[in-house]
Copies of this chain bind each other. A is one copy, B any other.
C-alpha cells in the first residue's frame, strides 16, 4: 500500500552535501538532528544518507526553532504532537461520520 511511487517531494535522493548547500546547515548539524530523531534519511546500499525535498523543508523548520532557542527534545515533542494532531483530526472526522450515520439510521 505505501509502496511504489511517491511524489518527487517525498523521494529520498539527495546527498548530504547538497542538502547542506541548500539549507545552509553544516553536515554536522544535519547528522545531529538525525541523531536526535528529528529527520530520517534513507541510506544507499553502502551507507550514504539520502534526503527528500520534504526533509529539506523540515530542516529549515528545525533551524528556525533552534535559532529561537528551542531544544531538540522540545522540537521532537512538537513534531509528535503535530503528527498526533493530524491523526486525531482524522479520527474526529470518522467519529463525526459515525455519529451522523447513527443519527440518520435511527429509524431505518
Taking the closest CB of chain B, its distance from the CB of A55, in whole angstroms, is: 12
Q: Does A72 contact B (CB under 8 A)?
A: no
Copies of this chain, how many?
Answer: 2
Residues in B with CB closer than 8 Å to A11 are 53
| Size bracket, chain A contacts | 10 to 19
Choose from B14, B17, B44, B53 the contact partner of A44 (Cβ within 8 Å).
B17
Tell me the residues in window 1-55 of chain A with beta carbons closer than 8 Å to chain B beta carbons: 7-9, 11, 13-15, 17-18, 21-22, 44, 50, 53
Q: Are A8 and B53 interface neighbours, CB within 8 A?
A: yes
Q: Are A13 and B22 interface neighbours, CB within 8 A?
A: yes
Q: Are B44 and A21 interface neighbours, CB within 8 A?
A: yes
Taking the closest CB of chain B, its distance from the CB of A3, in whole angstroms, is: 16
Tell me the residues in window 53-73 of chain A with beta carbons closer than 8 Å to chain B beta carbons: 53
| A residues with CB within 8 A of B | 7-9, 11, 13-15, 17-18, 21-22, 44, 50, 53
